Chain A
């Protein structure tokens, strides 16, 4: 028997003794049917191999983090001393992510924000009509124009938004973000055409389109075409960006939305990874070498529960799975190809916040920040406590959110040690468990024919719908507790109300008239543009769409240049690709 085996045998013996002499006695004394004690010894990770499972921060398999230290740590001290106000942890920092009304409305808003100290390029939210490939004059757009984001009908709208972005804010200097999926190819084409018109080389453009269409079928619902055609468009974007816009991130995948739609932790990880697999394969099918494009893949945040240990383990497992996927399956060699690059790491998810005693959400979000700080990310506290009130975040809530992150960094020093749980019997076994379950689920999807097949059959959609309902049932039956919601709600408790001043982010009068103004602008464009050129470029697109081997990006750019509208382009593709219909649930 080796020394290690002997050691484990001794522990096993000691554990049995402990159970008999200590644990069982106490359980008996309290007359419990089963023990509430969970304790992890070396037996839980008997084959633990540090270099294989964890490794040093910034080294394969990246369990301990992508980097030896993150960029923000390099200037954390300066930021505190100099009073600089980074919006750490706040995806929704002052006027950061947003969009509303017409292109003119949003442009004016951005100008105002820049006068108040905003930096960087636009981080655009689009209205639902744009997201679903409809122009503002479509019957489907009725009541939706400019509501949850800005309306983009054609290139002239896109160009309007960028009017203030010149000089120091020129588009080769500041990055832009586009939260767009189904029509991502069109928006990216608009970005390219804009650069072209300004004489800026495409290779200087930076930014991130969301461009994660597969999760739309699963979680967010703004799809247009059947998934396999969407994946073909993804391939075309991936190839186009790699060849012409190498600084642009290609996508921002997975995680967050799937979890918020009800997925369990394992489902979220497995589905996102299966989607990522489909995207990587699409790039390879497009003739690219994996290391030429995988470094430009990004993720949005994995996470979304209050269970702090599990969320830490999730981050570690996710990094390990992705690194191994890229290296072992796709033979990537560049370490950057193997990293999960995400702006926010662990967090509680908006669905963990409660309307009841709203300020508790600050406490909740701090737990998410701790999970992030202890799993290789910035301890960003997210979301602001007033998230479930549905009015936009108040300045007060954003201030408290930023401060909470700072308190975790500077006072609690949560992020002072990289992967502080490395080697913990409990954390390593939990990480292994989440990894194993996710890999098993990924294999199941692989056997179905991959992410596209699992979406076409409705498997993923049904699975998360079931999970969401089961969680709801657990809450209603008090198998799971949510403070102030299904427990501690008696009359001895006190309602805590917080005064907050919500600045109306967007002018409600502008919102009201946006639809009319946008429709007029579109009608005017359609009158003035060269109708023949529009028809012929759309016809070329249609012709090429039929040929699966053709990259459609040059045609889409040509349509954009000739002022074809977003819906006109989408309609051509609808004709060829068809429209997606959800399976029964």
Chain B
């Protein structure tokens, strides 16, 4: 890794779900772990998320979803990244995700799912390890 290299992460809230606590906590935590975190706020369409990921050349897109719409939203982000030639961007998910949905998410290309109670340090370590 180059000395000047900084890991860049996009924290995004797709859809209309307005619970921001988790996204805020993780964004702050990753900043304090030395990451550059781009936060775009609530109600992002998947097209907006993909555009941002490409323009900001992020290494990771973190989706925070608590509305139960994780399957369709993740699929759209992953497809969008692929269409933009950015399928190398790692997608991870946080929020409320039932155990039984995790295999489907991983199959569509989500690298990891972090549910409630995950320490932010664990997320930071995972990103560092996987990129």
CB atoms of A and B under 8 A apart anywhere in the complex? yes
A132 to B117, CA, bound (A): 28
- Bound form: Cα–Cα A220–B13 in Å: 13
Interface size class of A (residues with CB under 8 A): 35 or more
Q: Is B29 a contact partner of A131 (Cβ separation < 8 A)?
A: no
Q: Is the CB of A389 within 8 A of B39?
A: no
Write out the residue numbers on chain B whose beta carbons fall within 8 Å of the beta carbon of A585.
Answer: 24, 39
The answer for the CA separation of A485 and B122 in the assembled complex, in Å, is 13
With both chains docked as a complex, state the minimum distance between the C-beta of B45 and any C-beta of chain A, in angstroms.
Answer: 7
A260 to B15, CA, bound (A): 20
Interface-central residue, B21, B41, B98, B120, by most chain A CB under 10 Å: B21
- The interface residues of chain B lying within 8 Å CB-to-CB of A464 are 21
Chain A residue contacts of B45, Cβ below 8 A: 139-140
The answer to whether B20 touches A221, judged by C-beta atoms less than 8 angstroms apart, is yes
Residues of A within 8 A of B116 (CB): 354-355, 388
B120 near A472: Cβ-Cβ < 8 Å: yes
Query: Are B96 and A390 in touch, CB under 8 angstroms?
Result: yes
Contact B42 A356 (CB under 8 A): no
In the complex, A469→B19 CA distance in Å?
A: 14
Provide the residues of chain B in CB contact with A134, threshold 8 Å: 16
Closest chain A residue to B73 by CB distance? A143
**In the complex, A131 Cα to B29 Cα: how many Å?**
30
Q: Does A129 contact B (CB under 8 A)?
A: yes
Contact A469/B16 with A139-B45, A144-B69, A476-B121 known, Cβ cut-off 8 Å:
no
Which residue of chain B lies nearest to A144 when distances are taken between CB atoms in the complex? Answer: B16
Chain A residues, CB < 8 A from B76 = 143
Residues of B within 8 A of A355 (CB): 115-117
> For B17, B28, B116, which residue has the most chain A Cβ atoms within 10 angstroms?
B116
What's the nearest-Cβ distance from chain A to residue B56, in Å? 16
Give the complex CA separation of A260 and B22 in angstroms: 11
Residue from the list B24, B41, B68, B115 in contact with A148, Cβ < 8 A: B68
Chain A residue contacts of B25, Cβ below 8 A:
262, 465, 468-469, 472
Residue pair A389, B24 in contact (C-beta under 8 Å): no
Count of B interface residues, CB-CB < 8 Å? 32
Kindly identify, within residues 143 to 190 of chain A, every residue whose CB is under 8 Å from any CB belonging to chain B: 143-144, 147-148
Known contacts A147-B67, A390-B98: A129-B16 contact under CB 8 Å:
yes
Q: Chain B residue with minimal CB distance to A486?
A: B119
| Distance of A503 from chain B, by nearest CB (Å) | 15
| Interchain CB contact (< 8 A) of B21 among A131, A354, A468 | A468
The answer to whether B6 has its CB under 8 Å from any CB of chain A is no
Which among A129, A141, A473 has the highest number of chain B CB atoms within 10 Å?
Answer: A473
Chain A nearest CB, measured from B122 CB (Å): 9
Is the Cβ of B18 less than 8 Å from the Cβ of A143? no
**Cβ < 8 Å to A, chain B residues 20-45:** 20-21, 24-25, 28-29, 39, 41-43, 45
Residue of A nearest to B20 (CB): A221
> In the bound complex, do residue B24 and residue A468 qualify as a contact, i.e. CB atoms below 8 Å apart?
yes
Least CB distance, A585 to chain B, in whole angstroms: 7
Q: Is A222 an interface residue (CB 8 A)?
A: yes
In this complex, what residue of B is CB-closest to A388? B116
| A476–B121 CA distance with the chains assembled, in angstroms | 8
Q: Assess whether B24 is in contact with A469, with CB atoms less than 8 Å apart.
A: yes
Interface residues of A in 465-482 (CB under 8 A from B): 465, 468-469, 472-473, 475-476, 482
Task: Assess whether A128 is interfacial by the CB under 8 Å rule.
Answer: yes
Give the chain B neighbours of A128 by CB distance below 8 A. Answer: 15-18, 67
B16 touches A261 (CB 8 A): no
Q: Is A334 an interface residue (CB 8 A)?
A: no
Is A216 in contact with chain B by the CB < 8 A criterion? yes
Which residue of chain A has the shortest Cβ distance to B96 in the bound complex?
Answer: A390
* A485 and B117 contacting across the interface, CB-CB below 8 Å: yes
B27 → A minimal CB distance (Å): 8
Q: Does B92 contact A (CB under 8 A)?
A: no
A523 on the interface (CB 8 Å rule)? no
B24 touches A221 (CB 8 A): no
Would you call B97 an interface residue if the criterion is a C-beta within 8 Å of the partner chain's C-beta atoms?
Answer: yes
> Cβ of A261 and Cβ of B19 under 8 Å apart?
yes
- Interface presence of B128 (CB below 8 A): no
Answer yes or no: A457 CB below 8 A from chain B CBs. no
CB-contacts of A15-41 with B (<8 A): none
Knowing A143-B69, A148-B67, A391-B98, say if A469 contacts B20 (CB, 8 Å).
Answer: no
Question: Which 8 residue pairs are nearest across A and B when measured between Cβ atoms?
Answer: A221-B18, A128-B16, A390-B96, A465-B24, A469-B28, A143-B72, A476-B119, A472-B25
Give 15 CB contacts A-B under 8 Å: A132-B16, A132-B43, A140-B16, A144-B16, A147-B67, A147-B68, A216-B18, A221-B18, A354-B117, A390-B68, A465-B20, A468-B24, A468-B25, A469-B24, A476-B120
Given contacts A143-B15, A147-B69, 7 further A-B pairs with CB under 8 A are: A128-B17, A132-B43, A140-B45, A222-B18, A260-B21, A390-B115, A472-B25
